[in-house]
Structure 1
Amino acid sequence: RIDVMRAEASWLRAMEGDLLDLKELLPSSFLEGFEARSLEALTVGGKLLALPSSLDAPLLFCRSDLLERYGFSSPPRTWDELEGMAVTVQTGERQRSCPEEGDCFWGLQWPGGATDALTLTVLSLVATHGGGSFVTSNGTVDVDNPLAASAMERMRGWVGNISQPGLLGQGAGEASEGFMLERSLFLIENASLLGDLNEWRPDGCNVFQCLERSFGERVSVTLLPGSQSAGGSAAAVPQFWGWAVSKDSPVLGEVRQLLEIL
């Protein structure tokens, strides 16, 4: 039996019939302590279906040591700048490290498999191009426009050029692993990866051998680039997480105590 589970806002509409309205379980004075936007994101049909726990969003992770090596003083501010940097560093690193293999290093990693991570990346890319939000707050579909199409064309152009073709079958974890194995310059990944950077070590790496190679020290993090020519700006789609409760739980008293602790 599951009484409490962690759920993301986009799941809640499909789960609505199985979840308890937390407004019936928790006092309004307790809920007032949460940020209003988080509560709104986790509400479906007037029912609060999850108690806010964390917020995530895609960011751009950069190998700052490689940017410096190739003469770039700061992370890219536009997608055009990112693509130019990616080509320069990708070409240089392949010549330096694997001239015979040719594809041991790529400019950009991102989660290309059919997962929530890809959805966040696509939504964010369209937003940075000024292409809208797919569906507006009043329910109007606004994605059928030239700016959104240009964002998708840009993303398609990455594959095989600055991103390896195999990423179309990768989830978020596989994309970040390729970056942390030092096989790419940039990575589009959720902010939750930040906690893993300094602790990460390759499989089989003796911790004493790896202490002097803290990967996090060579990585900088910034907002996703914008597309100035298309009228877009830096943007990222938030991912709201919360604690949801089964409406059939027989231990709601204990559940309430747990939620107040969490």
Structure 2
Amino acid sequence: MAPLRRRAAVAVSLASAFALAASACASGSGSSGSAGPTTVKFWSMPYWIGQDGKVKELVDEFNASQDKVKVELTLLEWKDGRDKIKQAVAAGKGPDVWLMNNGLDLDYLKSGALTPLDKLGYTAADTGRFLPLAKVNEYEGKMYGVPLSFDVGVLLYRTDILQQYGFTAPPKTWDELKSTAAAITTKSAEAGKKVSGWQFKGMDDHLNAINSVWESFLCQAGGALTTADFKTSTQNTEAGRTAMDYMRSFYTEKISPTGTSALNGFISGDVAMFPFNQSVIANIKLGGAKTEGKWAVAPMPVGPKSGCSMVGGQSLVAGSAGKNPGGAGAFMRWLASPERSARYMEYHGIFPYDLGKVDPAVKATVDGKVKADPNWNAIFEQLGRNTPDLLLQDRHAFQARWDAQKANIVAGVNGQAPVDKALKTIDDLVGQALAKE
């Protein structure tokens, strides 16, 4: 329960800090009368997957492109960057613009710590160009975050391994996924070099990944994270039990080995298939000759109710205490523009704009990237299966849920806890946090 108390304290601090900031701005201290370019402080984690230096390159490019706004970048680490931003904002020393997950953080939204986009120079026509999934950044009728790119859960598979064991196409349903994985695991062991047909990312050394993976399978079973009013956790349901029983069967039937790294095993050829968001492609490509020409992407296998999956990705937000909303908005419109988002496709971030509403030159760039890499067809097919619903639910009691799932989904799937108990524990812990909102 200590994490819940700390989270509540941060929310109170955010509310207090921004009440004071609003008062200061109302009295006129929020304007900037200094000569020279407006300074905008930008704090970010290295969201360009696989190339940490790219964010600085982009900021330098923006600064060189004009002389009205100067952006000062503070690059943080993923392990604690979000916490550092929240602590700084609560102390009244936060940045003007910062990186946040798509879906946004409810503490910031409820405390009034963020500036709505219409106060940053965005028009209805601007926000209307985004894909419908951008609704994940809305709160009480206003949009607060600008998506840089989206993530969706997809199926990554080794084409060489599937072909070796007689499969010419990836599995399309839960039943096909399980039978394909079981055949590869069994036949490879009989041949003297066992290859795991499947691994759930998150049941390995990247424990946090189980949250995104679980969300995909819960969704495919017809489940939800909360009720429609966001007040009750709903994982201990028929859909939750269906999803966990299915995931658990891969371990009880010895198809998957608990603890094997999905990503590392995939790169080395010891894992044939795994699910995760499409931006993991950037990591797979780092495998060089181990993976080149030996893998592909498919939409998620369809479950009992649908083929949906998790939705994620990154957005930009601006603090409501910032003294230069015009400068912050100008930088955000540049960094999250269609032109830049087309470049983010280089690390397989999903283009967040409606292609029918962007400049023809940008559309041509996106179309060219899709034509050059057929994996994009599968990614965009998966994108079309998803709605904002789960991510809007996930922002409520987010930290409590992700902490509870990391422990209890793994315990339920690997057999350390009964399925009903694991799911009930999640609902109990998340329910306590929801009751405090």
Using the size of structure 2 for normalisation, the TM-score is 0.49
Q: Which moved more, 1:233-242 or 1:179-188?
A: 233-242
Are 1:89 and 2:184 an aligned pair?
Answer: yes
1:65 corresponds, among 132, 135, 160, to 160
Quick one: distance in 2 between partners of 1:176 and 1:26? 41
* Residue identity matched to 2:295: V
CA RMSD across the alignment? 2.5
1:8 corresponds, among 95, 101, 119, to 101
Partner of 1:107: 197
Partner of 1:205: none
SS in 2 for 1:184: coil
Q: Return the offset for 1:114.
A: 4.7
Larger radius of gyration: 2
Quick one: distance in 2 between partners of 1:33 and 1:75? 34
Q: Return the offset for 1:33.
A: 2.5
Q: Return the offset for 1:142.
A: 5.2
**Residues 41 and 240 in structure 1, CA contact (< 8 A), matched pair in contact too:** no
CA 163–246 in structure 1, closer or farther in 2 if over 3 Å, else same = farther
Partner of 1:178: 265
Q: Return the offset for 1:88.
A: 1.7
Q: Return the offset for 1:146.
A: 2.2
User: Whose helix proportion is higher, 1 or 2?
Assistant: 2
2:225 corresponds, among 114, 121, 134, to 134
Q: Number of matched residues?
A: 234
Q: Return the offset for 1:32.
A: 2.7
**Residues 119 and 325 in structure 2, CA contact (< 8 A), matched pair in contact too:** no
Mapping 1:101-250, distance limit 5 Å:
105-112=195-202, 114-115=207-208, 117-129=209-221, 131-139=222-230, 143-159=235-251, 161-166=254-259, 175-197=262-284, 199-201=285-287, 213=289, 215-227=291-303, 230=304, 232-250=305-323
CA 250–164 in structure 1, closer or farther in 2 if over 3 Å, else same = farther
Are 1:52 and 2:147 an aligned pair?
Answer: yes
Structure number with greater CO (CA < 8 Å, separation at least 6) is 1
1:31 corresponds, among 127, 150, 162, to 127
**Residues 42 and 50 in structure 1, CA contact (< 8 A), matched pair in contact too:** yes
Identity %: 23
Partner of 1:260: 333
Partner of 2:80: none
**Runs of 4+ residues over 4 Å off in structure 1:** 136-144
Q: Which moved more, 1:184-193 or 1:27-36?
A: 27-36
Q: Return the offset for 1:260.
A: 1.6
Using the size of structure 1 for normalisation, the TM-score is 0.78
* Residue identity matched to 2:331: L
